[in-house]
Amino acid sequence: MKIGDLATAQGVRRAIRAEGSFVYNDRATELIYADPATELTGLFYTPNELECILTDELVGRADLANLAVRTRSKVAKTMVCQALGYVAPPSFRKVNPRLRHANIDVYVQQANNLQIWNQEVDAARRYVIIILKNDLIAEIKVIAGGDLASYDTTGTLTSKFQANRINETAGSLLVSPMDTLELLSILGPVSFLGGAVSPTSPPSAGQILDIETVYKRLLPLVGQTFADPGLTQERNRGTVVHRSVCEALGLSHFADNGQFPDVLSQALEVKLQLARTVDLGLELPESRTPVASTNGVLAVADIRYAIFYGERSGPNFTLTELVVATGQDFFKEFRQFKGNVSNSKLQLRLPSEWFV
């Protein structure tokens, strides 16, 4: 840290506080967005000054420990606003960048996989990366968009469709009383598995449960409580449920090859929802696109979806509802998000040495 940069940054902060500046507008009564500050307009931090003052103010703090991802993101932006002298808003508007006057976006990272949703990297923007280690803020990195873009090795956005339930109070439900005609004719699903079936083997005739049996076997999981692996551990939490699903279906063991659908031999995609928004992946459930993992035998519309809703309580989470539907019938119970139609994320690999 350069002492000169820190002293200059502290002077900028004093000026921002004296102005009573907001990250969106200069006076609380105004509804217009402020333009980003520049060296010409004043109240401007250089990237070095940003990194110095945020390091001085935030490193070593535990404010972000054990927070859910969305809450952590909001708290982090609030902390950055306050550290820079801005009046933090009660909520952050969906504008780009989120901290508009300072021309910065804020990301909290425990690993080097940075995900940016619904936008390309902006070469003119500054990106504040808050690095967590052992629940403490260990380091602050400020990267210009032009430099951050060099970590994008794909140059493409990964798109994901989203939906939510039409009737939020409907409880557990079997939406599809029977499988699609295509799955019925090709695989002849049964109500009992005659032998050991691996979850990761391709679906085969006579070795796949019908959708009504799937629902009946999974329904007793509703009401069960599991140890929560951590507020930010969505993937590991999903694995807990995935393991229980394999057991409830009578499969030979638990395994996950990371492909769609989760339980390949049963043509079953499993989702755990602690929020109401359901991420659907790269294809709409009703699509007739062939599923590569089934060797093209089934289409996405033939896949069965088991969506568990859950609630977190202290160190545990409890399953509260189960909805089972074929992809073909999915939108009888769910409503696709419109507007953006799909959300997209850009995945970047930050330097691994930042997280050692």
Question: Which is it for strands 104-109 and 126-133: parallel, antiparallel or unpaired?
Answer: parallel
Question: Is there a contact between 25 and 33 (Cβ–Cβ < 8 Å)?
Answer: yes
Give just the sign of the alpha carbon dihedral 121, 123, 125, 126.
positive
Phi, psi of 285 (to 5 degrees): -55, -30
The better pLDDT of the pair 51, 119 is held by 51
Q: Is the pLDDT of residue 146 over 90?
A: no
Cα 18 off chain centre by = 38
CA 215 to chain centroid, in Å, comes to: 26
Q: pLDDT at position 157, please?
A: 62
- State the average pLDDT for the chain: 86
Least confident of 93-97, 127-131, 217-221, 275-279: 93-97
99 vs 86: CA distance, rounded Å: 10
Whole-angstrom distance, CA of residue 296 vs CA of residue 313: 41
Residue 33: pLDDT band (50, 70, 90) is: very low
Closest residue by Cα to residue 225 from 237, 208, 217: 237
| Residue 340 confidence (pLDDT) | 54
Q: What is the pLDDT of residues 151-210, one digit of tens each?
A: 876 666 666 788 989 988 889 999 999 999 999 999 999 999 988 899 999 899 999 999
What does the alpha-carbon distance between residue 144 and residue 113 come to, in Å, rounded to a whole number?
17
Query: Which residue did the predictor score with more confidence, 320 or 121?
Result: 320
d(CA 261, CA 47) in angstroms, rounded, equals 44
Helix (H) or strand (E) holding 51: helix 47-58
Q: Give phi and psi for 37, each to the nearest 5.
A: -70, 150
Q: How many CB atoms lie within 10 A of CB 52?
A: 24
CA distance 185 to 165: 30
Decide if pLDDT at 322 tops 50.
yes
β-bridge mates for residue 326, sequence order: 304
- How much of the chain exceeds pLDDT 90, in percent? 48
CA distances from 238 to 19, 81, 96, 270, 342 (A): 47, 34, 31, 8, 22
pLDDT at residue 26 above 50?
A: no
* Matching residue, tokens 């009046």: 87
Three-point CA angle 192, 198, 200, nearest 5°: 125
State the pLDDT confidence band at 84, using cuts at 50, 70 and 90: very high
Consecutive H or E run containing 104: strand 104-109
Rounded distance, CA 42 to CA 120, Å? 27
Cα 166 to chain centroid distance, Å, stands at: 21
Domain ranges of the chain: 3-151, 160-344
Torsion of CA 10, 11, 13, 14, to 10 degrees: 120
Residue 3 has pLDDT above 70, yes or no: no
pLDDT in tens, 86-119: 888 888 887 788 888 888 999 999 988 888 877 7
- pLDDT of residue 277 exceeding 60: yes
With b for 16 or more beta-carbon neighbours within 10 A and e for fewer, the 277-293 pattern comes to ebebbebbbbbeeebeb
Chain Cα centroid distance, residue 132: 18
Q: What are phi and psi of 281, to 5 degrees?
A: 90, -155
Please name every residue paired with 39 in a beta bridge, in sequence order, or none if there are none. Answer: none
**pLDDT average, residue stretch 116-140:** 87
pTM for this model (two decimals): 0.62
Q: What are 273's strand-pairing partners?
A: 309
Contact of 270 with 259, CB cutoff 8 Å: no
Taking residues 219-234, report their average pLDDT: 83
Please report the pLDDT score of residue 155 as a whole number. Answer: 64
Token output for 193: 């598995």
